[in-house]
Structure formats: C-alpha cells, structure tokens
Chains A and B, each alone.
Chain A
Amino acid sequence: MTPLLELRNGTKEYRGIPAVKDVTFTLYPGEVHALLGENGAGKSTLTKMLAGVVEPTAGEVWMDGKKVELKTPSEALKSGIAMVYQETSLVPSLTVAQNLYLTDDKHFHRLRGIYIAGQQFLQSLNFHVDPTALVSSLGAGQKQMVEIARAVHHNARVIIFDEPTSTLTPEEKYQFFSLIDRLRKNNVSIIFISHALEEALQISDRITVMRDGEHVITDDTSNFDRDKIISAMVGRSLSDELHGTHKERKVRRAGEKVLSVQNLSMQNIVRNTSFSVFSGQITGIFGLIGSGRTEAAKVVAGVMKRNLFHGGQVRLNGKPVRYRVPRPAVRDGIIYVTEDRKTEGFFETMSISENIYLGALAGGQTSARGVNMREMKTIAEKWIKALSVRAINGDASVIELSGGNQQKVVIAKALVQKPKLVIFDEPTRGVDVGAIVEIHHLIDRLADEGIAVMVISSYLPEILQLSDRILVCRQGRIVEEFAGQKTDEETIMYAAVH
C-alpha cells in the first residue's frame, strides 16, 4: 500500500539546535496513528513540518508517492492536510457557521445561507452544535468539534490533532473518540499527539514513540502495552514508580487542623462548600473541570473573592481569615501553585534565579532591605538543587525551559515563601513523565515535613497515588470524602459525576 503521507529523513533545526533529527514517518490511508513522547521530544515539530507550519531544514515530504513542498499551512490545507491545535484557532467573536466558512474562496456570504448550510453540514457529521452560536460561548469540547468540522469541510484527508483531549471532559472525550472512529471509516487518516497513553492504546492503529527529537519505535498498537510505551518514551521503566505502588504506601496520620472552610460560596461556581485540611498530610481534591475545585482553592488563597453576602468562612489555625488579595495570604503561609503557569505562574523576562528570588522578596524571606545579588544566588542555587531544575545555570531564562522544569521553578518560587499550607493545582499538567515522578516525590516530602498539602487534580491515578485523604468535588461542593488507601478509581469517579 502506498503511504498517504510521508516524511523522509526529516530534520528541523532552530538556530542550529535540532528539534527533530533525521526522522522518517509514514501515514497510511484510513489509519489512526498516535505520536507519543515526553515534552520536548519533537512531536509537535514533526507534525508542523507535515502541516506546512515550519519548513524542514533537511528531508522531504511525500504525498501519494509524489514529492511535495508545503510552504504554508494554507498550501497544506489545499492538499488535504489539516491541523487542529491545542489552543483553538477559531475567531471567538464570530459564529460557528462564520468560522466554518471563513476561509472559503467566496468573497461574500449571506448569513442565512451559511447558517442553513452549516446546520446541514454539522448534522451530517452528527455534531450537536448550533451554527448561529458565538464561538466564545462554546465549551472546549464544542470548539474542538467546530475545528474538526472545519477540517472535514476542507476535504482534509489527513487531520493532525495536537493534544486534543487535554481540555475535554470525560463525556466530551467519549464523543471525540466516536468521531475519530467515524472519520477513520471515511478513510481519513489521523495523527494524534497525546500524553494520555490509555487513549492512544484505545483508539490508535499504530503508535510511534519519539525521544529527544529522534524516532524510537513504530509498531502496531496491538504489540504495545503501557509499560512498553513508557519505557520507549523515557528509556527506562517508570511504570511502577508512577502508578500502582500506592497500595503498599503508609497513610500519614492527620496533624492539626490547619484550614477549615465553612459554607464557602463564590458566584455560581463554588456553592456552600465545607472542608478541612490537616498538617503533615496530603489532601487530594478530585473533580471534573468546572466543578469549582480551582475556584474554591483560589478563594482560600485570596486570588479570588468570596461572595460578599453569605460567602462563608475560612479559618486558618482556628482564626477566621478573609483575604481580598493574595499578599496577606502569602504572608500568613497559604501558597497557591497555579495550574496555568504560562499566564499566572512565572515571569518570562526573568531568569530562574530572579523568579525564585522574587518569591522570597514578596514573601518577606530575605534578610536585607533591598536586593542582594549574593543572597539571590544562594537562595536560587539551593532551590535549583533541591528540585533538580535542569538548566545550564540560574541565569537561564525560564521561557526556554521544558514544561517540567518551568513547573519546578514555579514550585520553587512558592516553597521559598515557607508555606504552612500549599495548594498544588494540577501540579503535573503538561509535564514530562520523568519530571512527574520528581514532583510527586517532592510533594510527598513536603507532607512528611509536616506541611499541610492540598493537591487538586483531574487525573485519578495521580490523586490515588499521592493522597492520604481524598475529597471529591461536584458542582461547586465537596460531596464525598475517602480515606486514601480504601478506595479505587471507579468509586471516586462515581462520586464525581453523579
């Protein structure tokens, strides 16, 4: 069978540094091909070469057995290759139908005309999206549907998904997988980049694993299992370290009650919720996206404000506190480590040392009145070593680090403030497998040292592995509490969705 799309010996260098080295990748008609690897393995760069977003430094792209040169994404689209990005590329202020027909060659569209055409088209794909709705009013899953519909509308024969499921709820994921099945039946080939190995095993026909810009292995999915993929990804077997060991681990006893929240409310998102967090213990909070877990944590840390009336009460070590800005919370030892490090985590114009030192300055942990360069260096070196941040030195810019190392810098910036209560919100989102293990060890160590730790996560194995106590959040309220070792994934999920 001739491959539909091929990259032959493709290399891409960014200023002399190779992101992809001499990789050959083939895609057959009607197959779902999962592309796996740690962050920085070169998956995105590889697909961008295929989609005409970047030009290969060396190597060729072949389509239907002929050499092609794809200089821009729109050229690639014309030859039938569409890419669906992590961040959606839709125009939020236009309606669904306007977005669908945005790049058509017609110069004028009648609104009524495209609404009718859009309705029929979306129905033919079995997508339940209103073509007259503004894109900004849609949820993540529906936006993804519109992106896919647009790709199908352009008669794409190859659709490339870059981490399609990371923003979807379980229900939306289910819909997404059935959609992939339908596309496969229509002989559309799919490249699927993901961090979720189960998903790749579930829906793909073949799997390619990359590491450090190089091709490691390509084989039929039936020849893979979780362990084999992980060891190919990291070059060592991490599966035991990552999952499954929680059964043998000892549960930590609760220390003092550090935080107690009573009847907390914030708009319609957090509804009259109550819970407590104890020192020397990890309290895991599980909930689906939109269940109000992040917002509840942000109110506790002063990042968001609770309702003015009937907003409830937060007590820190028994004393009622109410923070309107994070600064007093930070000074009292409540530190929130964000789930979204790019927009509210680190400072991109600053070096690693400056980021960490800024945390110390703002938390009042420096000895001098002003800025002391020598102190900055010692503090930064200590934390870079403690968290094994991998960078050339402390002067490296944070924006140039991998996701895992960026996350470590954000965590260092929080821990330098000597917290009594740390709230980790999705601590391992967008972090490579090796760093996940290190961050988990670090969180364990914090609890062993007697700090109260809260971990918010929508990844069940992570919650099960870390927590001594598990709280389940649903529709803005903590609805259920489990002891860490006496439960399993199904029980928790059942509590979270019903």
Chain B
Amino acid sequence: MKFFGRVSQEQIVFGLAALLCIGFAITLQGFLTPNNILNLIRSVSILGILGVAMGLVVIGRGIDLSLVSVMAISIAWTLQLATDGMSLPLALALGLTFALIVGMTNGFLIAYIEIPPIFATLAMGTLIYGFGRYFFFGLDVMYMPDDAHILTWFGQGVLFGVPVPIFLFAGVCFGAFLFLRYTKYGRYLRAVGDNQLAARITGVPTRPIVVLQYMLSSLIGFIAGIVTAASVSSMNTRVANSTFIYDVILVVVLGGIGLSGGRGGIRNVIVGTLLIGVLLNGMTIMDIQYTVQNVIKGVILLTAIVIDTILNPRDEQTAQQGDI
C-alpha cells in the first residue's frame, strides 16, 4: 500500500538540493551560469563514481572501506610502471588486475571466511596502502609520465562542450543501473542484501555474489582513479588516509541507500552526489573555510536523517505490517 504524503529520503534530499540551488542562484553572482553548473557536476563526478561503487556494495549489505585505497594504489602503480617505461595499456591492465585481486580477496574474506565487511575492508585498505608504498613506488605523489598524455583526455577533455568526467560519471551510473535492473546478478545482489538466508535457500549462489560485489566496487574504484589521475596529471596516494572515504559513504547514505541492505538504487547516489556538489560549490564561491565546510556537511547529513525519521517513523507497525 502506498500512502500519499509519504516522502522518501531521496525526495527530501533532492528537495534540499533544489532549495540550496535556488538560494545560491538568488544570492550568489555567477552560480547559475552554464559554466558553473558544468564545473559543479564535474567537481563531484569522481565522488559520484566512487558513490556508485559504494552504493552497489551497500545494497548488498556490505561496506567497502578500502575503496579509496584501491583507487589510489592501483593507479599510482600504473603511473609508476608507465614512468619506468612500460607501455600504457599494459600498465593499465596490471593496475586493473591488482584492483580486481584486492576486490576478490575482500569478497573471499567476507563471503567464505565470514569476517564482517567493515573489518575486512578496513584492514585491507591499510594493508594495500603500506604494501603499495613499500613495494610499488617510493613517493607519496606519482606524476603522469609525458607519454601518457592520452590519458589526460579522460580528466581534462571536453566533448560537445561538456567535460569528459561528466560523461564517465553518467556512463558508470548507467552501467550500474543496467546491472542492477536487467541482469540476473543484479537481482541476486539485491536479494543477498535483503535477506541472505532466504537468498541461500532460494538457490542464489550467495557467496560468489558477495565476491562479485567487492570486485565490482574495486573495478569502479579503478575507473575513478583514472579520472582523478587524468584531472590533475598525478595521483596523491595520501588520499587513502584522508577522510575522503567518509564523503563517499555520506553520498550513499544521504541519497537514501539504507545501510540495512536491499534498498535504494543508482538514483539515490546521483541525488546524494548532487546535494554535496551544490553545497561544496556554493561554499567555495562564498569562500567559506574548509573546517567550517565540514561543520555544514555534518549538519546537513544530520538534518536529512532527522527529517527522514520524523516523516517516516520506524514504528512497530511499519516494521511488521503482517501482524496487526
């Protein structure tokens, strides 16, 4: 039964983003110009791509804290290999293989050894950061070699007047959307996130699906890494130790993908990303200090959750409507 007047968190967040947009458009000179709007989306496209990766994992009732590390280390290694003279496609292939192996290991630890995802991926993130720094490259920041400038098109290029990262963001979103909606494995992923025991009894290969879920996350993380490296012609591996991963989780949770699994979709990631994008862009134009920006981000997240809880109270009746 659908009830009129019930508003989902996704709609609340979208409304908030729209309100902010209107507010900024009225008060800020130059906010509502096509250039600034493109710039705004472009600036959050990496966050959005990572949000899609995290969103897929969270729908499957997991979490991937190693996502940013995978992105940084696999791309930094690729750049190191290319700098050392390896051909770019081979370097990329090796970087991708590394990312996929990490994802597979995550999935294996979680599905077969049955370690809680939060611990498995936290440890994995730390492990591969240290591993990469020690074995793959010596410097914190890896620069794009001169002969790899074909890559920079992915970060700095413009197609039909629109920056390429926006296309990549849209492409990743579309791909993930198709995966979730039109493939068997997308359905399985949702089923495992909703109720793993029921999925198992129904005959869903639950463990392989969990492995797949973390491999997809690593794959999309690798794509985000390419865009990052291409945008600034380098990869700063210190991002692996920053709070960036929490921004990614913020986008997912803010958009309304429930951490309890099975709920939400790619639309939620897009909405969450847009809100963060509008917010960051407006604050940057207003020249607000970084620390104050953090305060505002936190307040927005709390507000969204509080409004959601007030509008959609989780009373006992919604929890089990079967028994009145």
> Could you list which residues of chain A lie within 8 angstroms of chain B, going by C-beta atoms?
14-17, 19, 39-42, 44-45, 53, 213, 301, 303, 325-327, 329-331, 336, 338, 342-350, 354, 357-359, 361-363, 369-371, 392, 396, 399-403, 406, 413, 417
Contacts and interface: CB of A to CB of B under 8 A. Distances in A.
A400 B203 contact: no
A370 B181 CA distance: 9
B191 A358 contact: yes
B321 to A, nearest CB: 5
Given A15-B3, A44-B324, A402-B322, A371 B317 contact: no
Q: Report which residue of A348, A349, A354, A370 has the largest number of chain B beta carbons within 10 angstroms of its beta carbon.
A: A349
B291 interface: no
Contact of B324 (A42, A327, A330, A361): A42
Contact of B197 (A344, A401, A417): A344
B263 A330 contact: no
Contacts of B202: 326, 330, 358-359, 362-363, 413
A361 B203 CA distance: 9
Contacts of A396: 1
A481 B323 CA distance: 37
Nearest 7 interchain pairs by C-beta: A330-B203, A344-B197, A362-B203, A349-B262, A347-B194, A19-B324, A400-B321
Interface in B168-191: 181-184, 186-188, 190-191
B190 A371 contact: no
Given A346-B195, A399-B321, A403-B322, A417 B182 contact: no
B182 A371 contact: yes
A327 B184 contact: no
Interface residues of B, number: 33
Given A39-B323, A44-B323, A350 B184 contact: no
A363 B203 contact: yes
B187 A358 contact: yes
B85 interface: no
Interface string B67-90: 000000000000000000000000
B108 to A, nearest CB: 16
Contact of A362 (B188, B262, B263, B316): B188
| Interface SS of B by simple majority | helix
Nearest to B200: A326
A327 B191 contact: no
Q: Which of B317, B320, B324 has most A Cβ within 10 Å?
A: B324
B322 A343 contact: no
A233 to B, nearest CB: 15
A347 B322 contact: no
B203 A45 contact: no
B259 to A, nearest CB: 13
Contacts of A370: 182-184
B203 A417 contact: yes
6 contacts: A39-B322, A325-B200, A350-B262, A358-B204, A392-B1, A400-B1
Nearest to A39: B323
A349 B263 contact: yes
Contact of A371 (B181, B204, B324): B181
A354 B180 CA distance: 13
B198 interface: yes
Nearest to A372: B182
Nearest to A391: B1
B292 interface: no
Nearest to B321: A400
